[in-house]
Homo-oligomer: A and B are copies of this chain.
Amino acid sequence: MNIGVLGAGQLGRMLALSGYPLANRFTFLDTTGHPSAGIGDVMVYTDQQPLLDAFLAKVDLVTYEFEHLPVSLVQAIEEHRPVYPGSRAIRICQNRAEEKALFDRLGIPTPAYRLVESADELEAAARELGCPVVAKSLTEGYDGKGQAVLKNSAEAHEAWRAINHPRLVVEAFVDFVREVSIIAARGRDGEVAFYPMAENQHVDGILRYSIAPLPDLDEQVEQIADGYIRALLDALDYVGVLTLELFQCADGSLLANEMAPRVHNSGHWTIDGAVTSQFENHLRAIQGLPLGDTSARMPTCMVNMIGREGEAAEVLALPDAHLHRYDKRERAGRKLGHVNLLAPTHAELLERVRACAALLPDAPAPRFSFEESGS
C-alpha cells in the first residue's frame, strides 16, 4: 500500500516509522517549503499540476498530518484518490466558527463565545462575556498568531486592529483545573477505539508534557469525553485519528477547546506507553484494518524537547526512557523531539519526569493537577 501524506513534518515521520512494519510505503507532499520528515519520498508542492499528477500516480490512498492545507488541494485529490479523513474535517478545523457550530450542534459544551465582525461588536462581546476574554481570528495562520487577550472591553479597538481579520471569535476565560485531551481512532467500518485521557501542560502555548493515564480521573468523566469525540467522529463520518482538546473544571466538567483532525502531540506517549500507538491506529483505520488495543501498558509521560535538545547519552541513561528525535535543527520554540518515560507507578513516573526535565535545556518544571489532589 502506497500512502500519500499531505504535510511532511515530524507527525508524518512518525506515521511512516509506524507504517513500514505494515509494509506501507510513503510519499509526502509538503506545502510549506520546509519538509522535515527525513524519511520516504518527499515532494514539495508548488501549485503545479504535473507535480500533483506525479504525487497521485505514486499513491493508493491519501491522509494528512497537517490541517493548514488549501481545502481546494484536498478536494482536488479527493476526486482521484480516497482521502482519510476527508476535506470536510479540514474545512471545519480551519474555521473556528464552523468548529464551534459543530460542537454546539452535537451538544458538546464549550466556553461561552461570540462571533464578531467589527471593533464595536468585539467591545460589546467583551462586555457581555465579562473580561478577560480572548479574541481569535476565525481562520488561523501557520504561526498561531492572530489572537489577543482583552483585559477590559476598552481594549477592543486596539485588539481589532492588531488581529486585523474581518471575523473574530471571542471566548470567555475558563477557570479550569487542567487541560486534557482525548484521542480516538475510527475505522472505515465505524469501529471506534479511545485512548486514555491525557493531561497536558502547555507553556506559552506550546505543549511541554502529556501524561496518561490519569490516576485521579473519574470514570464517568472519561465516558463523557469518549461520548463527545464519538459524536464528532460519527457526525463527520470520520476515518482515522481525531484529537479533542478540553478544559476540565473544578467540578470535573469538561469544555471543548478545539479539535485536530490528525495524530497529535498529546498522543506521542502512545508510541511506547500504549499497546498500539496513535500512529499505527491511524494507519490501520485508513487502510480498513482492525484497530489495535489502545490501553496503556504503564503510566507514561511525554516530555517535549523544544528549541534545544538534551544530550542523548544523558536522556538514554534514564530508566525506561525512549528518545524520539525529529532530526531537525535547533531553533527557539521549535519541536525537536520528545522523550517518553514509563514507570510502574505515577509517583515513580513523576520522579523520572523531573530527572528528565533537569537534563533538558530550558524545560519548565513539570506540574500535574493530580499531584496537588494527592492522588
Q: Point out residues on A near B: beta carbons under 8 Å.
A: 13, 17, 20-23, 25, 38-39, 275, 284, 288-290, 292-293, 297, 312-313, 316-317, 319-320, 322-327, 337
A20 contacts which chain B residues (CB < 8 A)? 13, 17, 38-39, 327
> Could you tell me if A327 and B39 are in contact, using CB atoms closer than 8 angstroms?
no
CB of B289 within 8 A of CB of A316, answer yes
- Residues of B close to A327: CB separation below 8 A: 20, 23, 25
B275 touches A320 (CB 8 A): yes
Enumerate chain B residues within 8 angstroms of A297, measured Cβ to Cβ: 297
* Residue from A275, A319, A326 having most chain B Cβ neighbours under 10 A: A275
> A64 → chain B, closest Cβ, in Å?
21
Closest to A276 in B: B322
B residues in contact with A322, CB < 8 Å: 21
The residue from B39, B275, B288, B312 contacting A22, defined by CB atoms under 8 A apart: B312
User: Can you list 15 residue pairs at the A/B interface with Cβ under 8 Å?
Assistant: A20-B38, A21-B322, A21-B324, A21-B325, A22-B323, A22-B325, A23-B312, A23-B327, A23-B337, A288-B313, A289-B312, A289-B313, A289-B316, A290-B316, A297-B297
Cross-chain contact A292 with B275 (CB below 8 angstroms): no
Query: Taking A20-B327, A323-B21 as contacts, is the C-beta distance between A317 and B293 under 8 angstroms?
Result: no
Given contacts A13-B20, A20-B17, A20-B327, contact A316 B284 (CB under 8 A): yes
Q: Find chain B residues with CB under 8 A from A288 CB.
A: 313
Which residues of the partner chain B approach A39 to less than 8 Å between Cβ atoms? 20, 39
A290 to B359, CA, bound (A): 15
How far does the Cβ of A336 sit from chain B's closest Cβ, in whole Å?
9
4 further A-B contacts with Cβ under 8 Å, apart from A22-B325, A39-B39, A289-B313, are A17-B21, A20-B38, A289-B312, A290-B316
| Chain B residue at minimal CB-CB distance from A295 | B320
A23 touches B319 (CB 8 A): no
The 9 closest A-B pairs by CB, nearest first: A23-B325, A23-B327, A290-B317, A21-B324, A289-B313, A290-B316, A289-B316, A275-B320, A17-B20
A289, B312: Cα distance in complex, Å:
8
Interface centre among A20, A288, A324 (most CB of B within 10 A): A20
Q: What CA separation (Å) do A302 and B292 show in the bound complex? A: 18
**Cα distance A42–B79 when bound, in Å?**
35
Minimal beta-carbon separation of A41 from chain B (angstroms): 12
What is the bound-complex CA distance between A289 and B311, given in angstroms? 10
Instruction: Report chain B residues within 8 Å CB of A337.
Output: 23
Contacting residues, chain B, for A324 (C-beta < 8 A): 21
Query: Which B residues are in CB contact (< 8 Å) with A284?
Result: 316
Measured CA separation A20–B313 after assembly (Å): 16
Chain B hits for A25, CB < 8 A = 38, 327
Q: CA A11 – CA B273 in complex, angstroms?
A: 25
Determine the residue in chain B with the shortest Cβ distance to A290: B317
- Closest Cβ of chain B to A335, distance in Å, is 14
Residues of chain B within 8 A (CB-CB) of A312 are: 22-23, 289
Q: Which residues of B contact A275 (CB under 8 A)?
A: 320
In the complex, what distance in Å separates the CA atom of A239 from the CA atom of B297? 32
A322–B275 CA distance with the chains assembled, in angstroms: 9
Give every chain B residue within 8 A of A17 (Cβ-Cβ). 17, 20-21
